[in-house]
Structure 1
Amino acid sequence: MDAASTRSANGRWVWYDADDAARAGNGTAGKGDDSLRSELREWLEQGRIADRNRVRTAAYDEGAPRLHGTLVLVSDPRDEETKHGLRYLATNGELVTAGLSRFFIGTMREERFRTRLLASETPIDALLFVLSLAVERYFDWMDRFERQLTRAKSQMRDTNGGHLFQFIMDLRYDLLHWNAQLIPLNEIRFAAEETFRDARSGEAFSVYRLRLERAQMLQDEYESEIDSLLKLDEMTINYRSNDIMKTLTVFTVLLTPMTALGAIWGMNFSYMPETDWKWGYFASLAVIFLFMGVIYWYLKRQGWTENLLRAKARDRP
């Protein structure tokens, strides 16, 4: 694999892009470029883009800093086809990328993207600019996530069916996924700070750091909201369970006279004078309903039947 080279606007560093070489014709664009040093060419030829994140820092040549690795992001947690990887290598004088066109081009027009990247003062500033675009994509994903979270809160307020818990758990899974996307981006930030000490004072590093902090703030706030929704869902379920048990208990107590008297009169004794009474059947019904009325009056007086027979609309202030 070879790379097409482009010199930065200030002429101090060179960007080698393997994607440009591939688009130019089967990766031949950089074969005649003697400025692509053998070490960089060997790094490019190490293989395809890995399917996992990795960051490495090392001394390049003699004491010069070097940061290289692979960044893999998945824009849809339920679709592995949305996984995109970027290989990168940054030194004091070179930035080498592979997979950049499929990774970020689309966040802005390609011409503007290349101009902005080549306007960077140093290769590490250019790499941080690229990573800042990754965090910007993260905000777009978070906007979609926020709409789903708002929908969950609306459903929690209006109605809380059994399906809502699963919906909230899906949101929790999505949030874990987005958190996993931030981890390698934060790791690269610390690796860049460790390897290129001067980069900390640059604008690119400041923008990248602030975007990461903003993304982490969103992550923490959304996590707090989801925890609140889960607790509210649990409280609602407990309240409804208690309400159901309370209702069943009241009905059981109300039907106790009927159950008790029915059991007595259902016994097979040979002498039961009530069965021969002309008005025995109606008297038994009267006794049953009388006891039920007394029990209901007592329960209501104690306040144990509150809200059992009220409609939902009446409960709202």
Structure 2
Amino acid sequence: MKHTFSNWTWHDEVDWGFVDQSEEPLFHEASCQEWIDKSKHTANNVLTVHVLEEPALSGSLIYQQSEQEEQMLFHFFVTEQQLITNAFYVNTMNKAEMIQRMKTCPTALEGFFVLLAQLLNHHLHGIDSFETQLKALQYNMRNNNSRTILENIYYLRQELLLWSDLTTPIEEIKRGAQEAFLESGTNQIEFQRTSLRIERTLSLINHYKQDIETMIHLEEVMSAHRGNEIMKTLTVVTVLFTPGMMLGSIWGMNFKNMPELDWKYGYVYALLAIVVTIAGVYGWLRWKGWTGDLLKNHHRKTRLLRKSTVKTSDTKE
């Protein structure tokens, strides 16, 4: 499909198998021919800057990728007067609105950046959905810190890396356009507007990267703290009951001469000795401060902390 504007033309949805080279002189150029041949077999991001004949930018861009590693590409070749692309589609694209914006563009490069802005809209919608998942995970991490939290964090981290990988090539295209067209093509409104949108998208991605790294660090600290609490609890329990176990083992020995066998209150004496010993060891541990917070009510402390936090925030408001 061919769209003709005031100073430039957009060849949209070009079928590589049926390119009519007599349609436009651009198709005869060596750089365009090389791009057409390479695009038929390209399956990854490619960018080429042409400066020998006339300034041009060509390549392939992965604009959508699923979890099953199924990726969708669109190929492009752009000069100041011509823009060539193959068929591509994203669910957030409003093609009629995009063409209306292209009508105000003085060059094909400007129109190309209108198209890139539509792709960035798709990425921003995906990042908004990612933000919703991230906020829900942060809430679950605070209120229900289960074993699956770390797995979910790493899942979101991989998803964010995917959005970063989809956005970074667009940043590379912008820099390639600056290299090819210099100031003649980079001082226009749509180029600057799309550049700001690229910065906004990358800024969001970097912000969420920091959030995820912080969440991973907190989860690792909390896991280490839980492990320390478990080891501390086991140590205290072992120390408390070791004297009783020793008395019980001595009491259970079967020697020939055991005077306590004739004691009327032998069981009572033995139990009292065990209880007193355990109480003495516990008192000694408390005096040393080695029990820490093991025997305190953590849930009550947590509730009090949350209430005090809420009261503080209400006071500030």
Task: Give the TM interval when normalised to the shorter protein.
Answer: 0.7 to 0.9
Match of 1:166 in 2: 151
The equivalent residue for 1:259 is: 245
Match of 2:64 in 1: 74
CA drift at 1:35: 5.6
Indicate the SS of the match to 1:162. Answer: coil
Match for residue 116 of structure 1? 101
Q: Contact 2:35 / 2:58 at 8 angstroms: preserved in 1? A: no
Q: Cα–Cα, structure 1 residues 115 and 31, in superposed 2: closer, same or farther, change >3 Å?
A: farther
Equivalent position of 1:199 in the other structure: 185
Q: Which residue of 1 aligns with 2:270?
A: 284
Q: What is the match of residue 307 of structure 2? A: none
Indicate the residue corresponding to 1:17 in structure 2: 12
Structure 1 residue 60 displacement after superposition: 5.5
| 1:114 CA displacement | 2.4
Give the 3 Å change call, closer, same or farther, for CA 36–163 of structure 1 in structure 2: same
Whole-angstrom distance in 2 between the partners of 1:276 and 1:15: 109
Contact 1:165 1:233 in 2 (8 A): yes
Quick check: 1:95 aligned with 2:95?
no
Describe the shift of the 1:43–1:303 C-alpha distance in structure 2 as closer, same or farther (beyond 3 A). closer
SS at match of 1:218: helix
- 1:30-69 equivalences under 5 Å are 33=23, 37-39=27-29, 40=32, 43-44=35-36, 48=40, 50-59=42-51, 61=53, 64-69=54-59
Counterpart of 2:139? 154
Q: Would you say the 8 A contact 1:49–1:86 is kept in 2?
A: no
Shift of 1:37: 3.8
Task: Please give the alpha-carbon distance, in whole angstroms, between the structure 2 residues aligned to 1:188 and 1:174.
Answer: 22
Offset, 1:41? 6.6
Partner of 1:235: 221
CA-to-aligned-CA distance 1:149-197 (integer Å, 9 cap, x gap): 1111101110211110111111111122211112211110110000011
Task: Using the TM superposition, name which of 121-130 and 295-304 deviates more.
Answer: 295-304
From the superposition, tell whether residues 179 and 230 of structure 1 become closer, same or farther in structure 2 (CA, over 3 Å): same
Change beyond 3 A, Cα 1:42–1:226: closer
Q: 1:235, 1:302 → 2: CA distance? A: 26
Give the letter for the 1:262 counterpart.
Answer: G
Decide whether the 8 Å contact of 1:75 with 1:141 is kept in 2: no
Q: Aligned-pair distance for 1:274?
A: 1.3
> Displacement, 1:46?
5.3
Aligned length: 300
In structure 2, C-alpha distance between the alignment counterparts of 1:243 and 1:122, rounded to whole Å: 66
Alignment of 1:169-184 (within 5 A): 169-184=154-169
User: d(CA) in 1 for partners of 2:86 and 2:174?
Assistant: 19
Decide whether the 8 Å contact of 2:186 with 2:192 is kept in 1.
yes
Cα separation, 1, equivalents of 2:204 and 2:39: 36
Task: Give the Cα separation in 2 of the matches to 1:306 and 1:59.
Answer: 71
Contact kept in structure 1, 2:236 and 2:291, CA below 8 Å:
yes
2-structure distance, mates of 1:295, 1:249: 13
5+ residue gaps, structure 1: none
Question: 2-side partners of 1:132 and 1:260: how far apart?
Answer: 77
Q: What is the identity percentage for the equivalent residue pairs of Structure 1 and Structure 2?
A: 31
1:308 corresponding residue in structure 2: 294
**Do residues 138 (structure 1) and 114 (structure 2) align?**
no
State the partner residue of 1:85: 73
Q: Deviations for 1:28-70, whole angstroms, at most 9, x for unmatched residues? A: 8x57735664335775465536210000011363xx1011000
Distance 2:41 2:195 in 1: 26
AA in 2 matched with 1:74: Q
CA RMSD between the two structures: 2.4
Task: Give the drift of 1:275.
Answer: 2.2
In 2: Cα distance, 1:74 partner to 1:132 partner: 14
- TM-score scaled to structure 1, two decimals? 0.86
Specify the alignment match of 2:308 in structure 1.
none
8 Å Cα contact 2:55/2:79 also seen in 1: yes
Letter in 2 for 1:96: I
The code of the aligned residue for 2:159 comes to D
Structure-2-length-normalised TM-score: 0.86
Aligned to 2:47, what secondary structure does the other structure show? strand
The amino acid that maps onto 2:78 is: A
Partner Cα separation in structure 1 for residue 21 and residue 202 of structure 2: 43
Contact 1:193 1:199 in 2 (8 A): yes
Query: Structure 1 segments of 4 or more deviating over 4 A?
Result: 40-43
